[in-house]
Structure 1
Amino acid sequence: MKVAGHLPLAELKRLERVEKNVNRSKRLRILILGHEGWTAPAVAAAVGLSRRACQEWVARYNRHGLAGLDDHRGGSLNLPLTADQEQTFRERLAAGPTSEDLVCSLRGKDFQRILAEEFGVRRSLPAVYWLLHRLGYSYLRPRPRHRKADPEKIEAFKREWPERIKEIAAEHPHKQLRVYFQDESRFGQQGTNTNLWAERGSRPTAVRQTEYEYLWVIGAVCPETGHAEGLLSPQLNTKIINSFLESFSETIPEGEHAVMIWDGAGFHTSKAIQVPENVSLVQLPPYSPELNPIENLWHYLKSHFWSNRAYDDYDDLEEAAMTAWRTAVLNEELIKTVCAAPYVDGGSNAQV
């Protein structure tokens, strides 16, 4: 973060020492750390605020000096866009880059140009970022979406879910329903990389293996209770899925019935699938991984345990998979958070 030189560092430290207002003292601490070369994430962790909040206080100070650290309760900073312009600008963001933009992702410089050329609003780059944050936008990595995904079918599935769970409850009277999400993930020597801390301006390296041994991690999680069951296998087919369903069904308590939501993979829809009596299967619409929160679990395991590493052989992969499972997936509170599924909340409580 670049802090303007309105006051020398020594003066900012003096003001912090004598400041009696806790919030203002924290804002001075943000400026001091920024002056000393700390990055925005590091400053945010040190003062207990979000990265965006720290950047906004620095931006206010850069524009207005110490007055920028004052509270603005009861009022709001004026946006440079009228209500109609704001709506048009939001539509421009939602539509994404045009062919004239010549980029695949709009960034701060692009929005600076768009504001000037299309709205007649000229602002510095920090002011552009401030505007985007004030409008509620962040620079996020999108979830991959298959080009054949059907948004209408996805919305219909969520809309019809309450009735579907009631029908299943009626078929299994006096049973407590528990909704599980099931999926499989391949984990192997075709490695991935994840973020790491490094000195500013550097480009650190990390191992990314390109060999070919792998295994399948098969899992089912209940976001309501945090209960999870898994199976490791060197291959994946209907026979393996049947083995998983059989072992999974044995973990369901006597008074409960599991509703397992999964995708339409061939080994899920095969006529040879053997469904236990205490399990009901619900198939997701095609190409809709966003409806299956166990996908978040695979991302969590890869980013926290399986990336930036190399594995000697299958046994090494198996040990890494089991260690991650014991560490993370058996933590019920973690599973409730990582695999939260708001669109089915309350549905698992259905009982007849």
Structure 2
Amino acid sequence: MSQIGRITPSGSERALNEAYDTALLDLDGVVYAGGAAIAHAVDALAVARDGGMHLAYVTNNALRTPDAVAAHLTELGVPAEPADVITSAQAVARLIADQLPQGSRVLLIGGEGLRVALLERGLVPVESADDDPAAVVQGYGGPDLTWGRFAEASYAVARGVPWFASNTDLTIPSGRGIAPGNGAAVEVVRIATGAEPQVAGKPLPPMHRETVLRTGAERPLVVGDRLDTDIEGAFNGGVDSLLVLTGVTGGAQLLAARPEHRPTFVDADLRGLLTGQPEVAEKESGFGCGGWIASVADGAFALDGDGEAMDGLRALCAAAWTYAGDGACELDPSKVLELLGL
């Protein structure tokens, strides 16, 4: 089902883990946060996997290797193999390898995950702008990445060396809150040089291509917590998506979503994979879902009824997205979200 022109979340009579063959799961904010499993994630994924759904873990975080990510997931109780993990480091390494000959030197600004991905593609990581690199690649390197690494990237990029970035997420969730992501580090080099990198990660096509090549998914469902990466990436790839509210996106951001950021399905957490999704129906007085009716009148949201909070949010999405059309809904949703406890 295409997301183009979406004005309501979709319903599904079948459980999502039966309707789709592969879940393309984001990690930070979906499966874990700050290294600890998010509530209900382990049990929900076990049921989905035992029911025959292929679980693939797709992350813009380029810091860790697939081996390390798979080991971490397994420790959390989510059995995974390295081949189940797809990272933006792998996507950007393929993007570079498509443009440069094997054995090319690449100035590495990032962590071990990016280093391993470059080597997998026959590229040679180097540490200095004076090592005659044929490209610069920048990926999330964790909190210990020093300022001098950004300077090395800037020196090379200013000389005209092609610049690549694994992703441009400005933030990344952690156990202590929201931290600066690779996008913030990319901005440092952009400000210093005035250049623009080629970007591989979600929501751009190189990441979707990498994911399809590595998983062979035929009916994939993207599962994420971010509108501007996970959901937009699904939109760009022409596949369906499930937004879970366990990460960076809250109700207000969802209601204000532009068409490319509107998910196919919305649920509180990964238990949404195991159920059907209720239909949102247009009513004479607004949009109904479960026991709720939502509408927009006189420049304000109205919400009547009772029932599950997620049903109320789905109805509000339909009212907001219909009102906004191809734009973003700018109405204040605080009162109706407070009514839902969101």
Fold shared by both chains (TM-score > 0.5): no
TM-score (norm 1): 0.22
Higher percent of residues as helix: 1
Q: Which has the higher contact order (CA 8 A, sep 6+)?
A: 2
